[in-house]
Amino acid sequence: MVVKVYGPEYASSKRVIVTLIEKEIEFEVVDVDAFKGENKSLDYLKLQPFGLLPAIQDGDYTLFESRAIIRYYAEKYKSRGTELFGKCYLLFPFHQQWLEVEAHNFNPPLNTLVIHTIFSSKLGITPDQKVIQENEVKLGKVLDIYEERLSTNKYLAGDFFSLADLSHLQLGHYLLNGAGKEYMIRDRKHVSAWWDVISNRPSWKKVLQLFPYLN
Amino acid sequence: MVVKVYGPEYASSKRVIVCLVEKEIEFEVVDIDLFKGENKSPDYLKLQPFGLLPAIQDGDYTLYESRAIIRYYVEKYKSQGTELFGKTMEEKGKVEQWLEVEAHNFHPPLYTLVLHTVFSSKLGITPDQKVIQENEAKLGKVLDIYEERLSTSKYLAGDFFSLADLSHLPFGHYLLNGAGKGYMIRDRKHVSAWWDVISNRPSWKKVLQLFPYPT
């Protein structure tokens, strides 16, 4: 049975897709246009009652929340494709820690920045310079901590690529593509090197090729 | 070796402590006074570079982000204490899904509400009625979806108590204790019944008795 992923155009859905590619899991996609409100259709709300993207359907099994989906598949297919938890993850669970850091420290200010820079006209909101500045400062402090971490570790969880690094690709992409904030990555030597390594993985390049970001 | 938990007075730390109690894992606590800035001391920042609570120390290594910590201990001590991830991989996926819902849908508006009601004077912020109203509306919509879910399911992930339910206790507590928003729970029949079941678990009562919330 092939996994169905809803809403491939959107960043959070790409978090799931890049994971499925790393784990060599077959999938197909179903377009959902959030700007036309298709995520609020009765059918979609049966899958994802909060109306958010993505959701997946795997036979009779459905799941939503991208970071729950990637954890599920990374565990279920542990022996296939890339190991995304690290080999000794019960001894060194740092991938879980850094995945949470991504979700609660990196994602929120970046999400706000993206809304006020790239999607402001599409969402009908006036870009608020004060909000942009505040969130750039917040994100900058987080990236300073990443710079320190990555000066002694090749990847966030240690010397191995994991779900934690992967989870930064989707929204991180916008910093260098559209939000005009490349310097936030490029001015930090180790963050910059890390970004180049993770964004040049064949899995991510395949996602960008198959499912280009909306403009 | 006994697990050390930093900052037991605070809600996010209680997320870890209630989990350790459920899993029958021995622990000790180290007080950290947030309001005196002890979370920004160089010693604490070595443990948790973002200066947030909690962090834990288990032998030689440290871990932070409460939802990473609880996932780790539930996985590591699978055969001890309460089963908190369900019995199958698919049940675990549902637990992860609702744990992510708690983190990204329930927590953010509730956290803002708590800052503007319970902690406004301590933090020196003027309660903003517009912010309170907006976040109450957001949280209300989330709780409506919970009401629907809990009308057909005893607990969030299924017919079993899990990390997903547990994760709501520390901040959910404030709705009925301090924030003056108890009606948000009590006006929803199934959410109310669910809250009573989960908050009456011996583990949570023990946490409240050992580590009362600061007033």
Residues B154 and B180 in one domain: yes
Q: What is the complex's ipTM, to 2 decimals?
A: 0.95
Whether A143 is in a domain gets the answer yes
Domain count, chain B: 2
Which CATH number covers residue B158? 1.20.1050.10
For the stretch B105-164, pLDDT in tens is 999 999 999 999 998 888 888 999 999 999 999 999 999 999 999 999 999 999 999 999
Residues A35 and A74 in one domain: yes
* Residue after which a domain boundary falls, among B81, B114, B145: B81
Residues B73 and B94 in one domain: no
Residues B64 and B93 in one domain: no
Residues A162 and A193 in one domain: yes
pLDDT category, A121, cuts 50, 70, 90? Answer: confident
Residues A197 and A118 in one domain: yes
Of A84-98, A160-174, B184-198, give the lowest mean pLDDT range: A84-98
Q: Which residues pair with A55 in a beta bridge?
A: A64
pLDDT category, A124, cuts 50, 70, 90? Answer: confident
Distance from CA of A68 to the nearest CA of B (A): 5
In chain A, positions 66-105, which contact chain B (CB-CB < 8 Å)? 67-69, 71-72, 75-76, 90, 92-94, 96-97, 99-101, 103-105
DSSP E strands, chain A: 3-6, 27-30, 55-58, 61-64
Whether A212 is in a domain gets the answer no
- B142 DSSP 8-state letter: H
- pTM over 0.90, yes/no: yes
Residues B117 and B174 in one domain: yes
Query: What is the predicted pLDDT for the residue at B89?
Result: 97
Average pLDDT on A168-172 reads 97
* Residue after which a domain boundary falls, among A33, A63, A81: A81
In chain A, positions 106-135, which contact chain B (CB-CB < 8 Å)? 108
Residues A153 and A116 in one domain: yes
Three-class secondary structure of residue A156 per DSSP: coil
Whether A137 is in a domain gets the answer yes
Tallying the residues shown for chain B, one arrives at 215
CB contact under 8 A, B100 and A148: no
Q: Does B15 touch chain A (CB under 8 A)?
A: no
Task: Select from A69, A97, A139 the residue whose CB has the most chain B CBs within 10 Å, as the one to mutate to test that interface.
Answer: A97
Distance from CA of B63 to the nearest CA of A (A): 7
Q: Does A181 touch chain B (CB under 8 A)?
A: no
Angle, nearest 10°, between helix axes A107-117 and A169-176?
A: 40
pLDDT category, A4, cuts 50, 70, 90? Answer: very high
Q: Does B1 touch chain A (CB under 8 A)?
A: no
Residues A99 and A31 in one domain: no
Whether A122 is in a domain gets the answer yes
